[in-house]
Chain A
């Protein structure tokens, strides 16, 4: 029969049985609401984790000196292990997996002043390729380069915070000098880190810093290695690095406290696992909620079919074919499910977007952009229609099997 005729007949029936329609709809709307909110939250957690790692390069292994916790070859425990400029160079040459490095020396907090303004900032000596390695955003000027380091140039790269505190808004740093502990450094650029708390830094060439503050020693605090390796290769590399430093500075390779090694590849992998687990969990809960929603519709549809036994009997007596009854019940189910589900979808999206709006700007680390993406919406829509058809199937079959005479007798 004509589809639109069938549709008007169904809409007619539904709109004249408002309470039943509303009750059925509510079950579905609720199911989809929960489904969407959970999926949105899952996305939020994932985004937050991704973002947390995005702030720090994911293919990075950083190495820093520590303190021995075991005796070794007659040497006392509690001995500090220092690392030096050359170590970074050796690591890059020695291990194929290492494709680049950056070394840092932390000089602690220094007083900086520009004109009449001043402030105290963490000051780091930094290797040339270190800046490209991290996810930095250059706001003005340039990075510190190899020549700066080679010639011990007195140049400084400002973090966003000192720039904002010492300079006027949008002031050009070109050719301007910053005094750090009384000596003048040419400002070459302004950078923004992705981690807001890192923005309060001043960066100077590592050689310059070592000359001025460390009386020529080439000691460094930290080496960041850019590594081209998968999880297991990175773990092996980590082990080899420990071995290398252990031989060089006389400590046991397994003495974890002698050398600090942070393997971002491994941590990222672990976090990824957690994300997958969370997503899976959310999916399962979402699906269970949906299933209970479907069972809900199915049950209500069954009751409604039973309640309408007489109506169905009358329709059959007037010449309704079993197919048209099946079609009617399934269409009803799909229609209620789709409409109510859509309402649930929209409400869920509104809630998720609301949370997104509220958590935006804050440093909330648990959620970031908990969005309902188009994929989720499409999945939910398909799930809705299938769910509606599924939920309607059993009641429809039951309705079609009703014998008109029994239906008419039914009170």
Chain B
């Protein structure tokens, strides 16, 4: 599903250049549940963002489901984000003036799905994450765990090939974190490829494969 070869990425701030990813080789197969571990600043988010086509890389090759992701136009990137990828962020990133159902329906809007149909689909996914009764609630009326479940429903609604989650439990307490992880595991059991960035060991323990990132390179990969 994901094939990275010799990926390099630097950030340029003013005249200074910060080499963050220093040659990443990585293969994640379809249907895997993978976590990326590493200390703060090791480049986890950077890696996930370029896999998610939210940012671009300087060097190397990246194949997503067999397609080379290089020099994409904005429209192509939008297409892949819309059809192939589902994002879950640490800070949820729900649109504050849309209710839960409308938030979940938004990626479908960009797929050109009609309003009624996308609302129905949105409700279906809210039901899946156990939030059907909260469909009409605005994000600020939801708890952190609920928000993250809405975000997961939103990531799933567009039927992506891959879920990318950057510290999905980072803003949640332990119990809620475990609930969210249960949900992600369940999604994985249904066949979805899931990549989770975390720096919590217990969260990483719950995945099949842990990629340890240190200072921009993959130190080791452990499998459970």
Interface residues of A (CB under 8 A from B): 1-2, 5, 8-9, 12-13, 16-17, 310-311, 313-324, 400, 403-405, 408
Contacts and interface: CB of A to CB of B under 8 A. Distances in A.
A408 B106 contact: no
Contacts of A17: 97
Given A16-B98, A17-B97, A404-B54, A321 B49 contact: no
A322 B97 CA distance: 21
Interface of B: 49, 52, 54-55, 74-75, 78-79, 81-83, 87, 89, 93-98, 102, 106-107, 109-112, 114-115, 154, 158
Contact of A408 (B54, B81, B107, B110): B54
Nearest to B111: A319
Contact of A321 (B89, B107, B110): B110
Residue in B74, B115, B154 whose Cβ sees the most chain A Cβ within 10 Å: B74
Contact of A319 (B55, B93, B107): B107
6 closest A-B pairs (Cβ-Cβ)?
Answer: A319-B82, A16-B97, A319-B110, A318-B107, A321-B78, A405-B54
11 contacts: A13-B97, A313-B93, A314-B93, A314-B95, A318-B81, A318-B154, A319-B78, A319-B81, A319-B111, A323-B75, A405-B49
B98 A316 contact: no
A90 B115 CA distance: 87
Nearest to B109: A9
Contacts of B87: 317-318
B35 to A, nearest CB: 21
Contact of B110 (A16, A313, A318, A403): A318
Contacts of A315: 95, 106, 110
A334 to B, nearest CB: 20
A319 B97 contact: no
Contacts of B75: 321-323
B115 A317 contact: no
A8 B115 contact: yes
Given A5-B115, A322-B74, A403-B55, A317 B81 contact: yes
A5 B117 CA distance: 12
B89 A318 contact: no
A135 B51 CA distance: 85
A320 B112 contact: no
Contacts of B95: 311, 314-315
Contacts of A403: 54-55
Nearest to A411: B91
A318 B82 contact: yes
B182 to A, nearest CB: 24
A185 to B, nearest CB: 85
B78 A320 contact: yes
Contacts of B94: 314
B119 to A, nearest CB: 12
Nearest to B87: A317
Contacts of A400: 74
A318 B107 CA distance: 5
A310 B55 CA distance: 15
Contact of B93 (A310, A320, A322): A310
Contacts of A320: 78, 110
A400 B73 CA distance: 13
Nearest to B94: A314
B55 A318 contact: no
B105 to A, nearest CB: 10
A400 B93 CA distance: 19
A405 B114 CA distance: 28
Nearest to B74: A322
Nearest to A13: B97
B72 to A, nearest CB: 12
B109 A317 contact: no
Given A2-B114, A16-B97, A318-B110, 18 more contacts: A5-B115, A310-B93, A314-B93, A317-B54, A317-B93, A318-B81, A318-B82, A318-B106, A318-B107, A319-B81, A319-B82, A320-B78, A321-B74, A321-B75, A321-B78, A400-B74, A405-B49, A405-B55
A153 B93 CA distance: 99
A23 B96 CA distance: 20
Nearest to A324: B110
A368 to B, nearest CB: 50
Given A318-B110, A320-B78, A322-B78, A408 B93 contact: yes
A129 B131 CA distance: 93
Nearest to A321: B78
Given A314-B95, A319-B158, A320-B110, A408 B89 contact: yes
Nearest to A8: B115
Contacts of B111: 319
A17 B114 CA distance: 23
B114 A5 contact: yes
B84 to A, nearest CB: 9
B38 to A, nearest CB: 19
A400 B114 CA distance: 24
A314 B107 CA distance: 10
Which of A311, A318, A320, A321 lies at the interface centre, i.e. has the most chain B CB atoms within 10 A of its CB?
Answer: A318
Contacts of B97: 13, 16-17
A313 B55 CA distance: 12
B11 to A, nearest CB: 11
B114 A319 contact: no
Nearest to A322: B74
Given A311-B95, A408-B54, A319 B83 contact: yes
Contacts of B96: 311
A400 B82 CA distance: 16
A409 to B, nearest CB: 10
